[in-house]
Amino acid sequence: MSPVTAPDCLFCRIVAGEVPATMVAENEHAVAFRDLNPQAPVHVLVVPRDHHADVARLAAADPALLAAVVRLAEEVATLEAGGQFRLVFNTGADAGQSVFHTHGHVIGGQRLGWSPA
């Protein structure tokens, strides 16, 4: 079955291989690639192959797919950050979401402080 895509979505185009990205890991359900503007030594985006606008919609539509995204995030964190990481999903423009395709930020590689904004 082909992934559900949105034609103008940057992350759908990365998943399809139309836009280059530095891939870190992938499975049948999700891909992980380096953030272009990293905020920590490890900053990798994990996105489902299927298009869902945000994590809340993904959770409602396909909880098993959300679980697969989180499993891949943990795999990336184990490989890149010794298993110690923060996983952040922004939902909505006011929360900092700029690409409206669900994506988790795997952040680590250093001791992390807390800053909600």
Q: Token pair 């992390």 is at which residue?
A: 112
**Catalytic position from the list 43, 51, 52, 103:** 103
Pair of tokens at residue 60: 């409602």
Gap between the Cα atoms of 89 and 98, Å rounded: 11
Pair of tokens at residue 45: 């985006």
The count of other CB atoms within 10 Å of the CB of residue 82 is 11
25 Cα distance to chain centroid = 11
Would you call 86 helix, strand, or coil by DSSP? strand
Does residue 103 have an active-site annotation? yes
Which residues are the active-site residues? 103
